[in-house]
Amino acid sequence: MHVELCISELPPPPVNVQSADVKQTEAVVTWSHPEFYNMYGISSYSLQVRKLRTKNWTQFTTTRGENHRLTNLDPDTVYFVRLKSENKYGKGKPSDSGELRTEKGMFLFVLLGTSVCQ
């Protein structure tokens, strides 16, 4: 006998939101499925970002997996990242936010008519 339980409500948020492989303009965000992931029928995760000193969260993407590469980020900038689980009843509450700081950009200064190497 096989019994499958389903929970008919908004799903809980993912857990363990972290960043990895952070570079100047991109970073990988990872997370784990919440407990009872299958019972809630989670179909996707809504990934949102915001910069330090801003109030509004921006929808970055919707994904099904447990990681995503953020691109087109500003160098030397602090970002907060959060996710919401989604099922047929809608989007649940947001996860705890993860924090990341992109690497500083490298600037090349060229002075016309001047040798930089001596």
Classify 21 as helix, strand or coil. coil
Terminal-residue alpha carbon distance, the chain? 81
Query: What's the whole-number mean pLDDT along residues 84-92?
Result: 97
The rounded mean pLDDT for the chain is 89
- Global pTM reads 0.82
Domains assigned to the chain: 15-101 (2.60.40.10)
pLDDT at 112 over 60: no
Q: What is the dihedral of CA 23, 67, 50, 15, to 10 degrees?
A: -130
Q: In whole angstroms, what is the distance from residue 31 CA to residue 16 CA?
A: 5
Q: Locate 67 and state its tokens.
A: 């990681």
Would the pLDDT of 3 be above 70? no
- Under the banding of pLDDT at 50, 70 and 90, the label for residue 67 is very high
Residue 1: predicted pLDDT: 75
**What SS3 state is found at 77?**
coil
